Structure 1
Amino acid sequence: METIQEIAARVYEFGNNSADGNSTMKNLLGGKGANLAEMSSLGIPVPPGFTITTEVCKEFNELGQEAIIGLITPEVEKAIKNMEGIMGAQYGDTKNPLLISVRSGARVSMPGMMDTVLNLGLNDEAVIGIAEKTGNERFAWDSYRRFIQMYGGVVLGMKPQSKEDIDPFEEIIEHLKEKREIQHDTQFTIQDLKDLVYDFKDVIQKSTGQNFPTDPWEQLWGAIIAVFNSWNGARAIYYRKMHDYPDDWGTAVNVQAMVFGNMGAGCGTGVCFTRDAGNGENRFNGEYLLNAQGEDVVAGVRTPQQITKMGSQRWAQLAKIEESDRAENYISLEELMPDIYKELFKYQNILEQHYKDMQDMEFTIQSGKLWILQTRNGKRTGSAMVKIAIDLLKEGLLDEKQALLRIEPNKLDELLHPVFDPNALKRATIIEQGLPASPGAATGQIVFFADEARKFRNTILTRIETSPEDLEGMNLAKGILTARGGMTSHAAVVARGMGKCCISGAGALKIDYKNRLLTVDGKEYHEGDWISLNGTTGNIIEGKVATIEPELSGEFGEIMKIANKYATMAVRTNADTPKDARAARKFGAKGIGLARTEHMFFEVDRIKAMREMILADTVKGRRHALEDLLPMQRSDFEGIFEAMQGLPVTVRLLDPPLHEFVPHQLATQKELAEDMHISLSAVKNKVAELQEFNPMLGHRGCRLGNTFPEITEMQTRAILEAALNLKAKGIEAKPEIMVPLVSTLNEFIAQEEIIRKTADTVFKEYDDTIPYLVGTMIEVPRAALMADLIAKKADFFSFGTNDLTQLTYGYSRDDAGKFLPIYLEKGILKADPFEKLDQEGVGQLIKMATEKGRKIKPKLKVGICGEHGGEPSSVEFCHNNDMNYVSCSPFRVPIARVAAAHAAIGKG
């Protein structure tokens, strides 16, 4: 970390069409602060303020609260003076007080994950001054009660921590509503608001043992420290882990002059998007509330109105509201405040053109004046991400490389999930319709509490509205359903960021948390009942709905073409069946990097022959059983080779230990003994004989082929005969035979000799030949160390990163779950090495083995076929080390293709 003397500035000011920073400084100012500075320089009406940098957050975590306050006080006081001059009000004054907000701002958007406090500077004297200054007593006391509630929760720690905890402020509010027989906050009288202020202060004193702070500067420092602390709050940590953001980034703190959307007539607040965040359509859209503050829109406690007339009419159709009723009670901002709408539309166009991306903007209208509070690159679904990138390319705002870099590889996974079968939807029973907040298809069992999202395998989190505390449950659920909230509510925005199907604002839903009951038009649905969500239409459907596989077409197909243009490393697939091979080819795989032959032996008609081979006591007996397996294996390979149509196919010879194939249950052992006409004790003895203390390090891989060479002979024959049979049909096959688990050169030589000798025999029998390769899977650290020797004989290397990781760390994949989560939580490991390639350790073995091998054979073909082959950072590592290909599961192929193109563009 930089020393205190080395940091030139800890506070950066903005406002009045000028700023100290700009949008390139997101690492220092956070995304919010950098964009506020940029907008101010562009002449966008931004309330003035200042940003305390992310570096100060790091200092705070090291030095503590008192040291940080001492360090930044002079700069903060100077910045407050500047705000006072621009706004014509004074912070801490009782007659003309400047009120301010304190918000977090990480370098990437983390909606709702950290803390915000509004209306700082209010106390018993200032509230009277605000009332007199504005001539609006109701507004003043409404702002005061909001401030005390927010400050109490955020700074004084009075937020509920679980569903069993009661929010003391909400309890007071609900009690008053019942007493007054009202439903909405807007129905409170001025006296009600005053009573809430006194009741809130009283509950704070009783809960914390201290009075609510009335000194504005004490309020400010309390809020700043709370925002810094929220960087290490549970939900922020979980969000970072979910998105793989580093813990050491820290958050900036943005302090800004308050502008008010809750001052009465001519006031409002809203959120808008320059394009549709759900489907990517080039359509300005958003929501607003009259006489409200910004938190009211995202919290979902009131269903907001639409910004555009078209959007309002669409919403009315979904909500089944007549046009006359809509125009009177649900009027759009475009119709209600046409001049404000035109100004807002102008700014959204300026900002999208400037940032060359879809923007998510927050705004406030105070007494007829428009203020823009924030802009950021909007969260979007996978399909919207692809469409927006292609549209911006066609509009000339981006070039091909820029468009491709807008694609988050992992987010493409959303486009590869099954969608509802249109025929099944025709027969579906629609329970109700809500707002299509985030598209997709989700089927699951109802749960009502976020911390119970694991209760069933597939769940639909069903809430009145969601809050940031629900993040983990939202992530675990298949879909999210809320009774309140609009298209910009917390549920909608977070769901789109996750690529999670979400329906919000389904007002007809009656949710009873106490009895775990959902009621719609008198019909009851209990916890555990199945429902389905169509996030594209907003339909809530009874029961399960059948799905179909997605297609790679349209804008998705266009992105893949661009990826092909720039990627220099091929992407293959791991596929064991013709069906998987066809699916991968459809997604653009350039061959098969791993076909596991053992998976072919577990089918009912094959396992018997496999067990007969294992139980045989002689070579003759084993060969007899293998003769039964030969046509089955040959047929499998013919199907796979035909599916790949001339692309290379790497076939791994038998790898797992033999005990995996024999029966371990008494009933199955008896059945096998009868089929083979041998005694039950003979079967039991063989099973016991095959049992190993550590089978993953035992009699498996090439060790099997070298002790039972007839297995390697049969598999080689099956592979090459399949290729020759297809050649006779005019179909090209390119087999690559891979020897697994080699640790010495002699092990490989022994297997290669068997393969070559069998190949010569097959070619003589067919009076024909085909080209083939013999290579090895580098998955034992010793093989990596001996790679230069092995390369003298091997035609290719394929790194089996699953076992290589396991053997390098000494972690068992099957047992690591007992300690890996704790290691990740404590920071002993930064990432799960079985999910993300360990570039420091395992990666160095891969790099060394590749270099050693290519010193012997400069054109040695090298790839990886472990699970890491579809993980973007691992793909980048492989590209940077000049590998020929990565191989991954079929539905990860598009992700790896884009990651490979990103790596090529970055390296270029």
Structure 2
Amino acid sequence: MATKKKAVKKATKKTARKAAASKTTKSASSNKNVYFFGGGEADGNGSQKNLLGGKGANLAEMGLIGIPVPAGFTITTEVCTYYYDNGKKYPKTLNQEIEDNIAKVEKAMGKKFGDLENPLLLSVRSGARESMPGMMDTILNLGINDQVVEALAKKTGNAKFAWDSYRRFLQMYGSVVMEVEAEAGEHHDPYEVILDKAKAKAKVKDDSGLSAEELQWVVAEFKKLIKKRSGKDFPEDPRDQLTGAVNAVFNSWNNDRAIVYRQKYGIPAAWGTAVNVQAMVFGNTGKTSGTGVAFTRDPATGENVFYGEYLIDAQGEDVVAGVRTPKPIAKMAKDLPKSHKELLKIRTKLEKHFRDVQDVEFTIEEGKLWMLQTRNGKRTGFAAVNIALDMVKERLIKKEEAILRIPADDLSHLLAPIFDSAAEKAAKKVGNGLPAGPGAASGKIYFSAEESVKAAAKGESVILVRQATSPEDLRGMIAAEGILTTEGGASSHAALVARQMGKVCVCGAHNMTIDYAKGTLTGNGVTLKQGDELSLNGFVGNVYEGNIKASPSQVIQGLIENKAAAKKSATYKKFMELMKWTDSHRKLGVRTNSDTPEQVEQAIKFGAEGIGLTRAEHMFFEGNRIDSVREMILADDDEGRAKALKKIKVFMKKDFKGIFKALDGRPATIRLLDPPLHEFIGTMDAAQKKDLSKKIGMSAAAITKRIHALHEENPMLGHRGCRLGISYPAVTATQVEAILEAAADVQKKGTKVLPEIMVPLVSYARELELQKQVIDETAAEVRKKLGLKKSELKYTVGTMMEIPRACLTAEEVAKHAEFFSFGTNDLTQTGLGLSRDDSSSFLQTYQDAEVLNNNPFAALDQEGVGKLVEMGVKGGRSTKKKLKIGICGEHGGDPSSVKFFHRTGLNYVSCSPFRIPVARLAAAQAALEEKGMARGEVS
């Protein structure tokens, strides 16, 4: 019976959705450039984000489900693309379509645009497919001028409101469209300087305290400022204003902050932005009006509470800009009880409809509630996990959708360090604010984005300190470990962007003051200068002087350190539950890149299913071990080389025994020595040569001479990898002896060992064939020496696919291989002709110019290097259908790359231990997406 009721309920929901969709007046397939919404009707709906942008699609959808939305229209993303493709010109029909839709808005709202009796004012906002908060331009109160302001004052009987709306419009339009902003050397917004003069003269604290007459003075001063700096008069014609505003929003798609944001989040420039033109509703008409921003759940922690802020007698920009201190949304029940009650109902309705946490903007105009926006709320990694798992328990979503909606990279937030409790207790507290981005961060104070970027480039940990951040601070926010603002609230720009980036953030620390001119931050009687150390606790909002010692996160304490208290924490329990879900869905194996037994043990606790890469040369970077490799490289005869190899074998055998024990029967891919010569001998100074001389019995002069003889112009492509093994077969043989003897020793004690011997830097099939002969001959000798049968000491031989030629001739290489492992770090270097170490000088320039959308060493170049991977997979499996193929570059821990490797048919990815949870989640998401599931589409 319960099942039948559930089916009826589901069918009813579908019927209701179809009924709402039937109100759509025109098909999206027509050649429309402008889509209307309002009055319960809409030309589009929530499924059309690619065309209408997220904001426009959701405004249409809200209207269709009966939520009060001011009427408006959306100019599509396709118009933006056309604009840029055609020398910033528009489709010929656009102007008429805009006029037609203005008429529809006028009818729906009962007002006229530019009218001198009942004027309609408009807002003009951007709206990309993916939310880009604050990165593009917005203009409010458009349509006001010297005549309309008087009409507005007369119509509303509220001159103060009319003049306040006018000064806001001038400030936005002057800055955005006429580009009158702070000039070089100015520390403050010139409009705010004028406002501060007016407030000082009137002896009021907030803008809302200014009278109509005082606001008239502000308007006059703003006009003078615009005329003086732009050389142009402010446009009085509302149609001209609208044209300028639409141009500005489209142009802002390619402003610096939007480009930086797109680079960080992989948003293609080709997507473009929509423009949303909407009837203004006013929260600044008095004490029965207001505006706010809210989340249907806490975006920092995920707690199921209505979370947000509002201001009485204000417009929306006042809340997010941090100029005034807003009130928590709970207090609205006392100030505006009717609207608060209605807002709570809308909160529930939106969450049930969109089945995700919503970030909403609203305005209350003289007691009437209007919803201006809804979008899936940006959240921290902590919140993402909590919300997803809670919504499964609440039966809002299924487990599959919970997996899909958590950005895989956000799991790293749960692994970030926290402050050591004793060290935090002993630290000097200098302030506190709102905990906007959880975590612990310590670093040096910097007061500007520019200085923060410079300091981070030098390797410093940075705390960006601002009165309030703006979109222009984005580069600094990306560079910083933590962000502190002295103004604003939990819905301010700083809080919103920090949460999305996973940055530690404390905002609205009102008991602290910044003096930009002096470069100081003062709180609790302590004055700190630029470059001084500061620590932020983003869980509780506390600010401390100095650098506080950090401790591992609760997940690390429970998983790696096996601490009982940490295992009882909600964070640990939900993390483990999520990992269990992911493993039930993923097809792609996840291994680790680890070089020591300790790293392997750690990786297995994170869920590694074996080793995808152990780099033999990394065993020799510690202590005096490097000397034996240097001795081998510097040897100029077989006898000297054999002496060094004997030492190398002892170290390797010991380490491999530890690694095999730690693996406890799991497979291990071991890359044979691949030492670029410069890493071992190219950086030796005179003291090191003298010390090495005593150890190996070779004079310092002889060492210097040998180093010069071995010098390579391009050691990355020099005498290394299989080339070294082919030149000196004993180098390969010694390593194989160490691997297999270690395997035999461990197997004697009852632990299964699965060694996979990987030959590096293969270009030609013949190279692998020659090395495999050495490996097989050596293995036969080891078995004979130990009295073991072939079945008692097994191994496989494969190659690292890191040279384009190997990928292009994979069908030949596969004849001698039992597995492939793509070394995408070097494949990216050789495939793109880019040095990972030397390209940093121009990589940022390339990203700014959008030659590259991402750093190709962080996220795989799927269109280029990815093609080489695909060719390698196809070629290899054309020779051996069941050829095991993996990837062991750092791309194995990048979510977008992991999904590519899943689609390409690899058996596993391998990454560093701390990236394993990210790879596991991304692999599960890839498997679900392959089934046709996407966020919000799991039935």
TM-score range, shorter chain: over 0.9
State which of 859, 869, 874 in structure 1 corresponds to 2:892. Answer: 869
Does the aligned pair in 2 maintain the 1:112–1:490 contact within 8 Å?
yes
- Name the aligned partner's letter for residue 537 of structure 1: V
- The residue number in structure 1 matching 2:698 is 678
Segment drifting more, 425-434 vs 207-216: 425-434
Task: Write out aligned runs for 1:364-763 (5 A).
Answer: 364-456=363-455, 457-550=460-553, 551=555, 553-662=572-681, 664-763=684-783
Task: Write out aligned runs for 1:279-358 (5 A).
Answer: 279-308=301-330, 332-358=331-357
Secondary structure at the counterpart of residue 113 of structure 1: coil
Report the Cα distance in structure 2 between the residues aligned to 1:214 and 1:235, rounded to whole angstroms.
Answer: 30
Segment drifting more, 502-511 vs 575-584: 575-584
Report the Cα distance in structure 1 between the residues aligned to 2:809 and 2:162, rounded to whole angstroms.
Answer: 77
Following TM superposition, by how much is the alpha carbon of 1:579 offset from its aligned partner in structure 2, in angstroms?
2.5
CA 1:350/1:473 → structure 2, altered by over 3 Å: closer, same or farther? same
Q: How many residues end up aligned between the 2 structures?
A: 880
Please list the CA deviations of residues 805-864 of structure 1 after superposition, one character each: whole Å capped at 9, or x if unmatched: 222233333322344433333343444333332333322222222222222222111111
Following TM superposition, by how much is the alpha carbon of 1:351 offset from its aligned partner in structure 2, in angstroms?
0.3
Does the aligned pair in 2 maintain the 1:659–1:690 contact within 8 Å?
no
- Name the aligned partner's letter for residue 51 of structure 1: T
CA 1:729/1:160 → structure 2, altered by over 3 Å: closer, same or farther? farther
Please list the CA deviations of residues 544-568 of structure 1 after superposition, one character each: whole Å capped at 9, or x if unmatched: 1222333263222222222111111
1:208 aligns with 2:210: no
State which of 24, 40, 50 in structure 2 corresponds to 1:27. Answer: 50
Does the aligned pair in 2 maintain the 1:659–1:687 contact within 8 Å?
no
CA 1:624/1:548 → structure 2, altered by over 3 Å: closer, same or farther? same
- Name the aligned partner's letter for residue 727 of structure 1: Q
Secondary structure at the counterpart of residue 248 of structure 1: helix
Secondary structure at the counterpart of residue 857 of structure 2: coil
Q: What 5-or-longer segments of structure 1 have no aligned partner?
A: 309-331
- The residue number in structure 2 matching 1:317 is none
Percentage of matched positions with identical amino acids: 54
Following TM superposition, by how much is the alpha carbon of 1:298 offset from its aligned partner in structure 2, in angstroms?
0.2
- The residue number in structure 2 matching 1:327 is none
Report the Cα distance in structure 2 between the residues aligned to 1:336 and 1:111, rounded to whole angstroms.
Answer: 28
Following TM superposition, by how much is the alpha carbon of 1:164 offset from its aligned partner in structure 2, in angstroms?
4.2
Segment drifting more, 122-131 vs 367-376: 122-131
Following TM superposition, by how much is the alpha carbon of 1:703 offset from its aligned partner in structure 2, in angstroms?
1.3
Secondary structure at the counterpart of residue 739 of structure 2: helix
1:799 aligns with 2:822: yes
Following TM superposition, by how much is the alpha carbon of 1:445 offset from its aligned partner in structure 2, in angstroms?
0.4
- Name the aligned partner's letter for residue 636 of structure 1: D
Please list the CA deviations of residues 221-276 of structure 1 after superposition, one character each: whole Å capped at 9, or x if unmatched: 11111111111111111111111100011111111111111111211111111111
Report the Cα distance in structure 2 between the residues aligned to 1:863 and 1:458, rounded to whole angstroms.
Answer: 35
Task: Write out aligned runs for 1:125-136 (5 A).
Answer: 125-136=147-158
Segment drifting more, 451-460 vs 19-28: 451-460
Segment drifting more, 166-175 vs 275-284: 166-175
TM-score (norm 2): 0.91
State which of 796, 814, 830 in structure 2 corresponds to 1:773. Answer: 796
- Name the aligned partner's letter for residue 376 of structure 1: R
CA 1:60/1:749 → structure 2, altered by over 3 Å: closer, same or farther? closer
1:276 aligns with 2:326: no
- The residue number in structure 2 matching 1:315 is none
- Name the aligned partner's letter for residue 429 of structure 1: K
Following TM superposition, by how much is the alpha carbon of 1:6 offset from its aligned partner in structure 2, in angstroms?
9.1
CA 1:176/1:6 → structure 2, altered by over 3 Å: closer, same or farther? same
Following TM superposition, by how much is the alpha carbon of 1:672 offset from its aligned partner in structure 2, in angstroms?
1.7
Following TM superposition, by how much is the alpha carbon of 1:163 offset from its aligned partner in structure 2, in angstroms?
6.7
Does the aligned pair in 2 maintain the 1:262–1:290 contact within 8 Å?
yes
1:176 aligns with 2:175: no
- Name the aligned partner's letter for residue 534 of structure 2: I
CA 1:827/1:111 → structure 2, altered by over 3 Å: closer, same or farther? closer
Report the Cα distance in structure 1 between the residues aligned to 2:419 and 2:340, rounded to whole angstroms.
Answer: 38
Does the aligned pair in 1 maintain the 2:466–2:486 contact within 8 Å?
yes
Does the aligned pair in 1 maintain the 2:536–2:542 contact within 8 Å?
yes
Report the Cα distance in structure 2 between the residues aligned to 1:497 and 1:163, rounded to whole angstroms.
Answer: 31
Following TM superposition, by how much is the alpha carbon of 1:42 offset from its aligned partner in structure 2, in angstroms?
0.8
Secondary structure at the counterpart of residue 303 of structure 2: coil
- Name the aligned partner's letter for residue 606 of structure 2: F
- Name the aligned partner's letter for residue 494 of structure 1: V
Does the aligned pair in 2 maintain the 1:22–1:35 contact within 8 Å?
yes
- The residue number in structure 2 matching 1:810 is 833
Following TM superposition, by how much is the alpha carbon of 1:523 offset from its aligned partner in structure 2, in angstroms?
1.4
- The residue number in structure 2 matching 1:189 is 211
Secondary structure at the counterpart of residue 169 of structure 1: helix
- Name the aligned partner's letter for residue 421 of structure 1: D
Please list the CA deviations of residues 51-71 of structure 1 after superposition, one character each: whole Å capped at 9, or x if unmatched: 111111112223355645x52
Does the aligned pair in 1 maintain the 2:187–2:516 contact within 8 Å?
no
Does the aligned pair in 2 maintain the 1:84–1:98 contact within 8 Å?
yes
CA 1:285/1:679 → structure 2, altered by over 3 Å: closer, same or farther? closer
- The residue number in structure 2 matching 1:253 is 275
CA 1:495/1:659 → structure 2, altered by over 3 Å: closer, same or farther? closer
Following TM superposition, by how much is the alpha carbon of 1:217 offset from its aligned partner in structure 2, in angstroms?
1.2
Report the Cα distance in structure 2 between the residues aligned to 1:842 and 1:202, rounded to whole angstroms.
Answer: 56
Does the aligned pair in 2 maintain the 1:450–1:470 contact within 8 Å?
yes
State which of 140, 144, 149 in structure 2 corresponds to 1:122. Answer: 144
Segment drifting more, 864-873 vs 461-470: 864-873
CA 1:845/1:89 → structure 2, altered by over 3 Å: closer, same or farther? closer
1:14 aligns with 2:64: no
Report the Cα distance in structure 1 between the residues aligned to 2:278 and 2:185, rounded to whole angstroms.
Answer: 33
- Name the aligned partner's letter for residue 588 of structure 1: G
- The residue number in structure 1 matching 2:107 is 85
Please list the CA deviations of residues 602-641 of structure 1 after superposition, one character each: whole Å capped at 9, or x if unmatched: 2222122223333334323322222222222122112222
TM-align CA RMSD = 1.9
- Name the aligned partner's letter for residue 498 of structure 1: M
- The residue number in structure 2 matching 1:323 is none
Does the aligned pair in 1 maintain the 2:266–2:853 contact within 8 Å?
no
Report the Cα distance in structure 2 between the residues aligned to 1:95 and 1:514, rounded to whole angstroms.
Answer: 48
Report the Cα distance in structure 1 between the residues aligned to 2:131 and 2:853, rounded to whole angstroms.
Answer: 21
- Name the aligned partner's letter for residue 147 of structure 1: F
Secondary structure at the counterpart of residue 334 of structure 2: helix
Secondary structure at the counterpart of residue 272 of structure 1: strand
- The residue number in structure 2 matching 1:822 is 845
Please list the CA deviations of residues 10-56 of structure 1 after superposition, one character each: whole Å capped at 9, or x if unmatched: 11111111211110011111111111101111111111111111111
Secondary structure at the counterpart of residue 182 of structure 1: coil
- Name the aligned partner's letter for residue 144 of structure 2: L
- The residue number in structure 2 matching 1:328 is none
Following TM superposition, by how much is the alpha carbon of 1:289 offset from its aligned partner in structure 2, in angstroms?
0.5
Report the Cα distance in structure 2 between the residues aligned to 1:445 and 1:803, rounded to whole angstroms.
Answer: 35
Report the Cα distance in structure 2 between the residues aligned to 1:64 and 1:342, rounded to whole angstroms.
Answer: 50
Following TM superposition, by how much is the alpha carbon of 1:376 offset from its aligned partner in structure 2, in angstroms?
0.5
- The residue number in structure 1 matching 2:22 is none
Segment drifting more, 638-647 vs 349-358: 638-647
Please list the CA deviations of residues 619-676 of structure 1 after superposition, one character each: whole Å capped at 9, or x if unmatched: 2332222222222212211222222222111110000233432363112112222333
